Structure 1
Amino acid sequence: MLRFHQLVLPILFSLSWGVSVPTPPIAKAEEGFSVSSINVKSESEISVDSIGITVSDMDKSLRFYTEVISFQKISDTEVWGNSYDRLQGIFGVRMRVVKLRLGDEFLELTEYLTPRGKPIPIDSRSNDRWFQHIAIAVSDMDKAYAILRQFKVQYASTAPQTIPSSNKVAAGIQAFYFKDPDGHNLELIFFPEGKGDRKWQNLGKSSSIFLGIDHTAIVIGDTNRSLRFYRDLLGLRLVGESQNFGIEQEYLNHVFGARLQISGLRSSSGMGIEFLNYLTPGDGRPFPADAQANDLLHWQTTLIVKDILAIAQKLRSEGTKMISTDVIGIPNQSLGFKRGFLIRDPDGHALRIIER
């Protein structure tokens, strides 16, 4: 028998769960919940700007993201030099950096021409601590899923999934996990009328199938510890929580016995950040201690701040692990910002703090 428990704060924003389905029709899920974006005001002077990933072949990745998911390329830059070595924490970097846009949100792809990094571990699972994804809102799950099948993308979920009407909060929301050519996890998410951020319903009236990025999700080991970092230290706002479990959740994440505590956070603007804390199973592996920004498992969430020196000092005083050597000035603002630095959160996920 399917079980579902849900703990909800006053404001919720999105959802992720599990289902079983025949293809191509989308099956019915029996439970679920995960948080994503809604318009929430924050007192923090910090906002989510973009999500970045390291890729092995820029041209191949560009074909995937622009032809399959309809991202648009807005900039293409090649950089090298001491400032970038110090920013990335790697000697002798030469990077090709391409910024893509889907709706109002941005994805940044970086190929390291030198030095090359390591591939994503072939046996990676969704409960490993280095797991991160972006959730791409769609106007029609059947049409979006058909496009993925047409391009023969790699599955990460068993099949797309729908929350049934018995779940009043999440009814009608659909989701599916898949992977890009390098193995980065991506999610399609559909919000019916009255669910999620209202902007997805408004955008869904257009002819576009792929609408924008609703949130990024990261696997964590301790919810309270991550809240102390993201909420209490960085100033993001907790807007929703839930616990998800059952066979559909297992099929979504492709993890047997999955039971997750999910927490959603928001800044004053930009996409949401979602914690995925696997209560069971407990065999998720920690973030590799030797991971670097040129490794393909590298994701970075870019946050914009108004006083970068003040927040850098605050983070250092709390013992935050630094990737960059210091706050680094960017020559000619070639990466779209004046200065910035990279850090790791308590689980090893990278964040880039920037000032424009």
Structure 2
Amino acid sequence: MSGVRAITGFGRTVADLAVTEAFYRDGLDFDRVAPPEPVPDAQAEAMGLTGRQATQLHLQIGGQTVTFLAVEPPGAPYPADPAATDPFFQHLAIPVRAMDAAMARLARFRAAPISRGGAQVLPASSGGVTAYKFRDPDGHPLELIYFPDGSPAERWRDAPGLFLGIDHSAITVTDLDAALAFLTGPLGLTVAQTGLNQGPEQARLDGLDDPEVDVIALEAPTPAPHVELLHYRRPITRQASPAPFDPADCASTRFVFTVVNMDGLLQVLREAGFAPRASADGAAAYCAGPDGHGFLFVNA
């Protein structure tokens, strides 16, 4: 058994922690958990950052934590002209209490849009949510979502403020079967929902012409937040730059999972043909998925 229990956070590599904090704090109501600090030795070792100056900043919203990583010397910059179909795409989906107010707040920070024409109301077949996609100062994508009944999902109903938490993180994958095999095999996640999104609203949301995208939600034993797979049947996923990215590269992102049996997880990952890297003390491990998306595992 792999022993994966829950998503306990997300990671993004950025160029400037101060710029990142200002955007997420002032634009999206994230709170600082602690001042910037060195990455723990075990995690640095697992991510191949030993010997480099690696500093992390934890920001939190609605009980979910995003760890922003800055590395000196820096790795590759975020690729130019990114698209939703790129295999390094990974967004964080943030539920909001009121989309108009959230959009007005965001407009003050000139966030680069992904969506065309503002927030989009998706048809019932695509979940009926109102959604808008954009990018942070480094180029990492984000999504605002407003639920169709006019109120947040149950776990957000008592959350304060306009921006409520992180509902899920979605990754673009080029081979859906390979991605599912990785997530439901070694990681032990379960498929919670499947759908096929298409139409003019989806095109405007994704900033693409005539997309058709499989959307698969997967859950760990502790189900929230969850993983979402985006597999574009059209347009064909382009390979804008090589994958996987090194954790020091600005396009690098990570799911952070807690694990109760690290040795078991490492064994099943190796048996499945992956090459996880673990710290000498077994406290942390890192593995790139089939499309290069990062997965950091830490002991529960």
TM-score (norm 1): 0.78
Q: What is residue 98 of structure 1 aligned with on the other side?
A: 57
Identify the match of residue 176 of structure 1 among 132, 135, 141.
132
Residues 321 and 345, structure 1, Cα contact 8 Å, conserved in 2? no
Preserved contact between residue 3 and residue 262 of structure 2 (Cα < 8 Å):
no
- Tell me the SS of whatever aligns to 2:205: helix
Change (3 A) 1:194 1:58: closer
What are the superposed Cα offsets for residues 103-128 of structure 1, whole Å, 9 maximum, x if unpaired?
A: 1211111111x221111111211101
Task: State the AA in 1 paired with 2:141.
Answer: N
Q: Which has the larger radius of gyration?
A: 1
Show the 5 A alignment for 1:1-356: 45-79=4-38, 83=42, 85-112=44-71, 114-158=72-116, 159-163=118-122, 167=124, 170-171=127-128, 173-193=129-149, 197-200=153-156, 202-203=157-158, 206=160, 208-269=161-222, 270-285=224-239, 288-289=242-243, 291-322=245-276, 324=277, 326-329=278-281, 339-356=283-300
1:233 counterpart SS class: coil
Q: Does the C-alpha gap of structure 1 residues 289 and 178 become closer, same or farther in structure 2, counting only changes over 3 Å? A: closer
Distance change (3 Å), C-alpha of 1:289 and 1:220: closer
Give the deviation of 1:65 after TM superposition.
0.7
AA in 2 matched with 1:309: D
Q: TM-score, normalised by structure 2?
A: 0.92
CA distance in 2 between partners of 1:308 and 1:319 (Å) = 17
Return closer, same or farther for 1:196/1:103 CA change in 2, 3 Å cut-off: closer
Assess if the C-alpha contact under 8 Å between 1:78 and 1:97 holds in 2: yes
Q: 2:255 aligns to what SS in structure 1?
A: strand
| Aligned-partner Cα distance in 2 for 1:84–1:90 | 8
How far residue 93 of structure 1 moved from its aligned partner, in angstroms, is 1.5
**Post-superposition offset of 1:88:** 1.7
Question: What is the CA distance between 1:225 and its match in structure 2?
Answer: 1.6
Whole-angstrom distance in 2 between the partners of 1:305 and 1:283: 32
Runs of 5+ consecutive residues of structure 2 not aligned to the other structure? none
For 1:193 and 1:315, the matched residues in 2 are separated by 41
Paired residue secondary structure (2:165) = strand
Q: Give the deviation of 1:328 after TM superposition.
A: 4.0
RMSD (Å) for aligned C-alpha atoms? 2.3
Distance 1:347 1:226, change over 3 A: same
Describe the SS at the equivalent of 1:95.
Answer: strand
SS in 2 for 1:145: helix
Name the stretch that deviates more: 312-321 or 181-190. 312-321
CA-to-partner distance for each residue in 1:174-215, whole Å, 9 max, x for gaps? 100011111110000111438873223x136x4x10000000
Identity %: 28
Is the partner of 1:248 in helix, strand or coil? helix
Q: Distance in 2 between matches of 1:47 and 1:106?
A: 13
Rounded to whole Å, the distance in 2 between the matches of 1:81 and 1:234 is: 23
Contact 1:137 1:214 in 2 (8 A): yes
2:194 counterpart SS class: strand
SS at 2:70 equivalent? strand
* Superposed displacement of residue 85, structure 1: 4.9
Q: Is the 8 A contact 2:246 2:252 kept in 1?
A: yes
Secondary structure class of the residue paired with 1:100:
strand
The offset of 1:257, in angstroms, is 2.3
